[in-house]
Structure 1
Amino acid sequence: MDAGGGSGTVSVPPGRVTLTDRRTRRGWEVDVDSFLLSAHQVTRARYAQVVGDRSAGAREGRLPVEGVSWREAVRFCNALSRREGFSPAYLLRGDGEDDDVAWDTAADGYRLPTEAEWEHACRAGTSGPRYGPLDEIAWYRGNSGGRVHEVGGRRPNPWGLYDMLGNVWEWCWDVYDAEVYGAYRVLRGGGWFDEHWSCRASVRRRSHPSFRVDDVGFRLARSVPPGNAG
């Protein structure tokens, strides 16, 4: 898998992560199976190449793609899966901003990480709010100069994953809180415009799956085929 822009992929080991929600003051444990995760956020060049947009990506190739809705990220995952000979992970009913999306967990194609997968991968075996000193690992309001930066410009976490904190927020598969926010999906990681308190492994944000936000991108995951885990 090399969808991030030359970064390759990381095999994330299985484990258990405790998710927390500051708004509701609750926490819950989730067991995470081994999976594959792109070392970098999807770049503008890679996104443009897959979706066929010739106007984008040429001069800003290694900047992370921004302003992509959750639904567009899902469609990108399926398009890249077909392009590379994998089974699409998502079943889309309809063809627009209101289409219904189901995850085929048996598929071997590209997909968005779950929220638990994301946090487990971000922490990379560490126990603090971050996997290193913030200025060394992340682009955020204190050091970004008010702009997004090329992927891989900060120190990776112990598992070799770059920009898990800062640069752009990342879409996850999960619904944030259906009873309160309906279809809103989870965002993780903090971005270049955020203060330091938003760039922590546990911080959760939300947005509607059809919204395009200028500090939001995504990173690709794939499930490990049965028999190849461990």
Structure 2
Amino acid sequence: MISVPAGEVTLSDRRTRRRWPVEVAAYELAACPVTQERYAQVTGERPSTATGDRLPVEGVSWLDAVRFCNALSLREGLTPAYLLGSDEDAEWDESADGFRLPTEAEWEYACRAGTDAARYGPLDEIAWHGGNGSGRIHEVGGKQPNAWGLHDMLGNVWEWCWDLYDPEVYGTYRVLRGGGWFDEHWSCRASVRRRSHPTFRIDDVGFRVARTPAR
């Protein structure tokens, strides 16, 4: 887990042409997406299409990711962050010290790592994408990290975030960030937002965990 300092980030949405600033409190974020090996250790399951311990787990829904966070919290003796409700939702206990999904503001703030650039380095050096990925997923940590030591923030797999994408238009759909191994270069930028239903399982979508340190 990487300690991320407090700060501010400005989010944007191309569809609505809206921009909005968000204050971000200090938190911790995993240096890499959750691997298939780690997911299997915690859940006993291997849902991914591709196979490899060091590959990011994919083919996991938003709800799968939330359940993993709770299971990992219990395994580590921490208070679970989520109370599971309906088949498409969960309630976040923000006072809990357990593992959770990052908010999209936390995700973008960590991706940028103190810069205003669309990417934290030359794309081929920092990300697996449609132009260099040979049409497949790759092991985590194989590309250069950003200035804060975070790998694969762009490319390899899209990552689930906590937030609803646009509830008035898309209901329970949740935010995805980061771009994936099959995406064109323009999708692999810090500001790009994608959405998916919280029960959908897709072969280029994974996640990484965050945590709010006990205060």
Q: State which of 47, 62, 70 in structure 1 corresponds to 2:54.
A: 62
Q: State which of 164, 170, 173 in structure 2 corresponds to 1:175.
A: 164
Kept in 2: contact 1:92–1:99 (CA 8 A): no
Q: Residues 158-169 of structure 1: matches in 2 within 5 Å?
A: 158-169=147-158
SS in 2 for 1:28: strand
Give the letter aligned to residue 199 of structure 1: C
Report the Cα offset of residue 224 of structure 1: 2.0
1:11 aligns with 2:19: no
Q: State which of 119, 136, 139 in structure 2 corresponds to 1:150.
A: 139
Deviations 1:161-183 (A, max 9, x none): 00000000000000000000000
SS in 1 for 2:99: coil
Q: State which of 38, 43, 46 in structure 2 corresponds to 1:51.
A: 43
Give the letter aligned to residue 30 of structure 1: V
Deviations 1:135-164 (A, max 9, x none): 000000000000000000000000000000
In structure 1, what is the Cα distance between the partners aligned to 2:164 and 2:85? Answer: 18
Q: State which of 59, 62, 71 in structure 2 corresponds to 1:79.
A: 71
Gaps of at least 5 residues in structure 2 are: none
Q: CA RMSD in A?
A: 1.4
Report the Cα offset of residue 225 of structure 1: 1.7
Q: State which of 9, 19, 28 in structure 2 corresponds to 1:36.
A: 28
Deviations 1:17-52 (A, max 9, x none): 000000000000000000000000000011011111
1:120 aligns with 2:112: no
SS in 1 for 2:160: strand
In structure 1, what is the Cα distance between the partners aligned to 2:115 and 2:204? Answer: 26
SS in 1 for 2:57: coil
In structure 2, what is the Cα distance between the partners aligned to 1:136 and 1:16? Answer: 27
In structure 2, what is the Cα distance between the partners aligned to 1:186 and 1:142? Answer: 24
Deviations 1:93-122 (A, max 9, x none): 25xxx1531000000000000000000000
In structure 2, what is the Cα distance between the partners aligned to 1:152 and 1:47? Answer: 17
SS in 2 for 1:46: helix
In structure 2, what is the Cα distance between the partners aligned to 1:139 and 1:56? Answer: 18
Structure 2 counterpart of 1:188: 177
Report the Cα offset of residue 126 of structure 1: 1.1
Give the letter aligned to residue 43 of structure 2: V
In structure 1, what is the Cα distance between the partners aligned to 2:48 and 2:191? Answer: 33
In structure 1, what is the Cα distance between the partners aligned to 2:59 and 2:40? Answer: 13
Give the letter aligned to residue 155 of structure 1: Q
In structure 1, what is the Cα distance between the partners aligned to 2:41 and 2:30? Answer: 17
1:88 aligns with 2:80: yes
In structure 2, what is the Cα distance between the partners aligned to 1:217 and 1:55? Answer: 11
Give the letter aligned to residue 207 of structure 2: F
SS in 1 for 2:73: helix
Report the Cα offset of residue 54 of structure 1: 7.2
Gaps of at least 5 residues in structure 1 are: 1-8
Kept in 2: contact 1:48–1:56 (CA 8 A): no
